[in-house]
Chain A
Amino acid sequence: MVFKSHDNGFGSVTKSLHWVVAALFITVFSIGWYMDFLPLGMAKLEWMSRHKSLGITILGLAVLRIVWRLYEPSPKALSAHKLERLAAKLGHLGLYAVMIAMPLSGWMMSSAANFPVSVFGLFTLPNLVAPNKELFETLRTVHWGLSWAIAVLVGTHVAAALKHHFIDRDATLRRMLPHGTKKVAANPSKEHRNV
């Protein structure tokens, strides 16, 4: 098993982090919208608790992922167009930004609401800001706005991956799949075509 990424493929650490965070993103996003529509009651609190705990998990994994990304080389982008490569770079930067900003805004929002965050009941996070009703409203708007930014970024990310796979027919999507590296290595001439 290759832990580190290389020029033509992703290592198992990045692949695992990518898919775990992807699954968590979808889960936390869905819980977020679901709990928002629930009336104030036990069920809402239970879902809020899960939302916060999983959101903080994303924050931790995002930090790990960024540190790991800075440590290892990144595979080359496969797109032929400079503009597409730039768009991909910006999209990825945006995704990293929301991976940090979204949980952080939620954590701050909880602090401003004097509603400290317990992570799976294991430990309680310190408050990032002092309780403040106005700040809470602002942060709630930020958190809500970021949820739409995430929808757009993830939607574009998925669409781009599918475009690479079905239209460009390159290894962009395959090389992020659990067993994708071998296939990439098996056909290196094609992968190098656009580099």
Chain B
Amino acid sequence: MSEKLKNILAASVMASIVGFAGSGQAADEWIVDAEDSEIEFTGTQLGAEFEGEFKAFNATIAFSPDDLAGSSVRVVIDIASVDTQNGDRDSQIVSSEWFDAGQWPTAQFVTKSFSEIEPGKYQAVADLTIRDVTREVTLPFDLEIEGNKAEAKGEVTIKRTDFGVGQGQWSDTAQVGDDVTIEIEIEADRK
């Protein structure tokens, strides 16, 4: 066996050991079922609540209840996919005074840690980035895992002005309320 081939073999053995060890440590990976998953929000306008959703998002999920330290979730939301069932409002939302999707086309949610509140109930501390503002949010959620299927539901209320959503005249919260509740409903399959 040539020296070169030996080296390649050694390297590949090492890689598979490291790889194996790595995957053994990390939490289970999950693939989101886009059809049955939703990121919705409730805002208020003229004192009345309205609902909307972001139809397109990507989520990278590694989660195991018995390995919370090794779990992580990263969600990238396509701002332009917003749908509040009102054309005027949707075009406002993506405009420069609101999310400015031209400049910041996505919002990101990246977890920093998970903790278990009680069996089936967890909370995630995460960095939420909207426009150019990153803030820490805590998202409590219910999680049900049955075999290779998982369903997570949770909601968190944020203040839109904390993220600069609503510039100029819209920073006034009299007509468009400051509080926005984000509701997530995620169904995923184990990879």
Asked whether A62 is an interface residue with its Cβ less than 8 Å from the other chain, the reply is no
Count contacts on A: residues with CB < 8 A to the other chain: 21
B50 touches A115 (CB 8 A): yes
A121 with B175, Cβ < 8 A, contacts A113-B86, A131-B86 known: no
User: Is A124 an interface residue when CB atoms closer than 8 A count as contact?
Assistant: yes
Residues of chain A with a CB closer than 8 A to B48's CB? 115-118, 124-125
Q: In this assembly, does A57 line the interface, its C-beta being within 8 Å of a C-beta of chain B?
A: no
Whether A45 pairs with B45 at a CB distance below 8 angstroms is yes
- Total number of residue pairs linking A and B with CB closer than 8 Å: 53
B-chain residues with CB within 8 Å of residue A132 when the two chains form the complex: 85
Q: Which residues of A contact B50 (CB under 8 A)?
A: 114-116
Partner of A42, one of B49, B88, B175: B175
Chain B contact residues: helix, strand, loop or mixed: mixed
Closest approach, in angstroms, between the C-beta of B49 and any C-beta of chain A? 7
Q: Smallest Cβ distance from A39 to chain B, in angstroms? A: 11
**Given that A40-B92, A42-B169, A42-B170 are known contacts, is A49 also in contact with B47, CB under 8 Å in the complex?**
yes
Contact A49 B86 (CB under 8 A): no
Least CB distance from A28 to B in Å reads 15
Which chain A residue shows the least CB distance to B45?
Answer: A115
Q: Is A48 an interface residue (CB 8 A)?
A: yes
Alpha-carbon distance A114/B41, docked complex (angstroms): 13
Mark each residue of chain A from 15 to 27: 1 if its CB lies under 8 Å from any CB of chain B, else 0: 0000000000000
CB distance from A120 to the nearest CB of B (A): 8
Inter-chain CA distance A136–B90, complex, in Å, is 15
**B85 is contacted by which of A40, A125, A133 (Cβ under 8 Å)?**
A133
Nearest Cβ in chain B — how far from A101, in angstroms? 22
A-contacting residues, B7-64, CB 8 Å: 45-52
Bound form: Cα–Cα A46–B89 in Å: 16
State whether B49 touches A114 (Cβ < 8 A).
Answer: no
Complex Cα distance, B49 from A118, in Å, reads: 9
Q: Are B92 and A124 in contact (CB under 8 A)?
A: no
Contacts of B45 in A (CB 8 A): 45, 115
Least CB distance from A76 to B in Å reads 45
Bound state CA distance, A192 and B52, in angstroms? 63
B68 at the interface (CB under 8 A from A): no
The reply to whether B175 and A115 form a contact with Cβ atoms under 8 Å apart is: no
Contact present for A124 and B84 (CB under 8 Å): no
Distance of A1 Cα from B170 Cα, bound (Å): 50
Q: A-B pairs with the 4 shortest C-beta distances?
A: A118-B47, A131-B85, A118-B48, A116-B48
- Known contacts A49-B46, A115-B50; 10 additional CB pairs below 8 A are A40-B92, A42-B169, A49-B47, A49-B175, A52-B46, A113-B86, A114-B86, A115-B86, A116-B49, A118-B46
